[in-house]
């Protein structure tokens, strides 16, 4: 893979209350071996972005539009069959939030990992099981896990199984949606170590979705900060953490407690807007300490000199 280019991606849902504009025209790029984290609070649309990229959508989708080009090939135009055969899980796979709780309780682990290979790739059973055993080694799980059932594994081990299932077809991109939620700190650290190793060894690109800014720093080369369905800032990890431009990014970083340094924590008053009727202008304006009159007009994405993108009137 060379590049994933997302342009003006839109995902709207139809609900009883109206149209939820979960992902409202976002654009980003992802290069080979690169990790882009999409960070934001709950309800900002980051998970929906993942589902849009994987084209795993519920029935009440009102609109999915924009452009997702993988090495120049448009993915949104593809028909379902082709996408399933060529792209999903083969080139882009996903580790879902809480996936470790969705393991089949009545199937042995080895068989669960091997099954998609048999069904989709037409591998025979022994080949598939061999591939499963190998990938278990790659995620640093002992061989006897092949014969175990999910309830015999700890949370950390289950999550490794899920990661194994995601990388078994050697995809280019793995989307990770809160892969360590509900895991303890030490287990989390071990899992992040594993993800780092896999990234370095296999040249994997990650799209890492999380609300935890500290955790994001473990993998991110670049970050996209999402708010109310829009990306408000994209930049390198150094830029975002050391010198955030957008007021929301700034406040978000200041609200993260640090273990090793002293700081005064800041909080963001108010709450995110309703995605059914987002405000017309800048969506962050009601909570922004720098709000001005011009913020009643919707801001556009501005490219800064150092290659960063910000969506804020303060910069253009």
Smallest gap, in angstroms, from Cβ of residue 225 to another protein? 12
Q: Is 252 in the site for another protein (CB under 8 A)?
A: yes
Pick from 59, 58, 50, 60: nearest CA to 23: 50
Instruction: Provide the mask over 34-73, with x wherever binding to another protein is found by CB under 8 A and - wherever it is not.
Output: -x-----xx---------------x-x-------------
**First-last CA distance in the chain:** 35
Q: Is 261 in the site for another protein (CB under 8 A)?
A: yes
Q: Which of 5, 61, 78, 187 binds another protein (CB under 8 A)?
A: 187
Q: Is 214 in the site for another protein (CB under 8 A)?
A: yes
- Residue among 99 and 129 whose Cβ is closer to another protein: 99
User: Strand (E) positions, 128-228?
Assistant: 173-177, 205-210, 222-227
Containing H/E element for 302? strand 302-303
3 state SS for 24-66: EEEEEEEECCCEEEEECCCCCCHHHHHHHHHCCCCCCEEEEEE
Q: Which of 107, 196, 301, 302 binds another protein (CB under 8 A)?
A: 196
CA distance 20 to 233: 22
Q: Is 1 in the site for another protein (CB under 8 A)?
A: no
Q: Is 221 in the site for another protein (CB under 8 A)?
A: yes
Q: Is 189 in the site for another protein (CB under 8 A)?
A: yes
Q: Which stretch binds another protein (CB under 8 A): 1-9, 75-83, 110-118, 233-241?
A: 233-241
- Lookup: tokens for 2: 């060379």
Q: What is the DSSP string of 213-277?
A: HHHHTTT-SEEEEEETTEEEEEEEHHHHHHS--SHHHHHHHHTS--SSS--------S-PPPSSS
120 three-state secondary structure = helix
Q: Is 275 in the site for another protein (CB under 8 A)?
A: no
Q: Is 207 in the site for another protein (CB under 8 A)?
A: no
Q: Which stretch binds another protein (CB under 8 A): 84-92, 162-170, 191-199, 273-281?
A: 191-199
Q: Is 185 in the site for another protein (CB under 8 A)?
A: yes
Q: Site residues (CB under 8 A) for another protein?
A: 15-16, 35, 41-42, 58, 60, 154, 156, 184-190, 192-193, 196-197, 211-221, 236-238, 240-242, 251-253, 255-261, 265-269, 271
């Amino acid at each position: 893979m060379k590049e994933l280019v997302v342009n003006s991606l839109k995902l709207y849902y139809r609900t009883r209350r109206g149209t939820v504009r979960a992902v409202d025209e976002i654009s980003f790029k992802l290069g080979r071996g690169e990790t882009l984290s999409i960070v934001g609070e709950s309800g900002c649309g980051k998970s929906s972005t993942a589902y849009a990229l994987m084209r795993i959508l519920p029935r009440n989708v009102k609109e999915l539009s924009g452009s997702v080009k993988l090495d120049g090939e448009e993915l949104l135009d593809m028909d379902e069959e082709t996408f399933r055969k060529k792209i999903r899980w083969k080139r882009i796979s996903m580790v879902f939030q809480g996936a470790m709780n969705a393991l089949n309780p009545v199937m042995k682990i080895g068989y669960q990992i091997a099954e998609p290979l048999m069904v989709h790739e037409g591998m025979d059973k022994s080949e598939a099981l061999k591939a499963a055993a190998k990938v278990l080694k790659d995620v640093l799980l002992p061989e006897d896990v092949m014969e175990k059932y999910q309830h015999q594994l700890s949370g950390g081990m289950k999550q490794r199984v899920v990661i194994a299932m995601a990388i078994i077809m050697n995809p280019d991109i793995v989307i990770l949606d809160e892969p360590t939620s509900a895991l303890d700190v030490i287990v989390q650290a071990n899992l992040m170590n594993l993800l780092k190793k896999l990234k370095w060894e296999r040249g994997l690109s990650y799209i890492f979705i999380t609300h935890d800014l500290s955790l994001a720093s473990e993998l991110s080369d670049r970050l996209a900060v999402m708010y109310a369905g829009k990306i408000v800032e994209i930049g390198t990890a150094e830029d975002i953490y050391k010198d955030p431009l957008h007021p929301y990014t700034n406040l978000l970083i200041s609200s993260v407690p640090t273990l090793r340094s002293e700081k005064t924590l800041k909080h963001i008053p108010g709450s995110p807007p309703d995605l059914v009727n987002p405000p017309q202008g800048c969506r962050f304006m009601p909570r922004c300490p720098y709000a001005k009159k011009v913020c009643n007009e919707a801001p556009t994405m501005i490219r800064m000199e150092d290659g960063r993108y910000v969506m804020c009137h303060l910069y253009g």
